[in-house]
Amino acid sequence: MNWRIISLYVGISLLFVAALMAISAVIACFSQGDDSRIPLLFSSFLTCSAGFFPIIFVRKGKERLSFREGNCIVVGVWISACIFGMFPFMLYGNEFSPINALFESVSGFTTTGASILNDVEALPKGLKFWRISTAWVGGIGIVTLFSMMIGSSDKSRLSGAEISRVAKEGFSGRLGSFTRRILIAYVSLTLITFFALKLTGLPWFDSITDAMSACSTCGFCIRNTSIAFYANPAAEVVLTIAMITSGMNFGILFLAFIKGRPQHIWKSESLKTFLGAVLIAIGMVTVDLLINNHINSFGEALRAAAFQVASISTTTGFATHDTTLWPHFSIAVLVICSLICGCSGSTSGGIKIDRAILVAKGVHRKVILTVTPKMVRPVRVDGRIRSDEQINDAFCFVFCYMFFIILFAAFNIAGGLDFTTGITASIACIGNVGPGFGDVGSLSNYADIPAVIKATSMIEMLIGRLEIFPMLYLLRSFGR
Report mean pLDDT in 10-residue bins for the chain, 480 residues: 81 91 94 90 95 78 72 89 96 93 95 93 94 92 63 54 55 61 88 96 95 94 94 96 93 80 79 94 96 90 96 94 94 94 87 92 89 80 83 92 96 94 95 93 91 96 90 74
Choose among 247, 397, 416, 235: nearest CA to 317.
247
Determine the pLDDT at residue 2.
75
Determine the pLDDT at residue 84.
96
3-state secondary structure of 386: strand
Determine the pLDDT at residue 70.
79
Determine the pLDDT at residue 140.
82
Structural domain boundaries of the chain?
1-162
Cβ pair 342, 456 in contact under 8 A? no
Cβ pair 477, 1 in contact under 8 A? yes
Determine the pLDDT at residue 150.
56
First-last CA distance in the chain = 11
Determine the pLDDT at residue 155.
53
Cβ pair 88, 40 in contact under 8 A? yes
What is the DSSP annotation of 277-323?
HHHHHHHHHHHHHHHTTSS--HHHHHHHHHHHHHHHHTT----SS-G
Determine the pLDDT at residue 357.
92
pLDDT digits (tens, 9 = 90+) for 111-139: 999 999 999 999 999 999 999 999 999 98
What number of other Cβ atoms are within 10 A of residue 340's Cβ? 20
- Give the residue ranges of DSSP H helices in 30-154: 37-57, 67-85, 87-92, 98-109, 125-140, 142-147
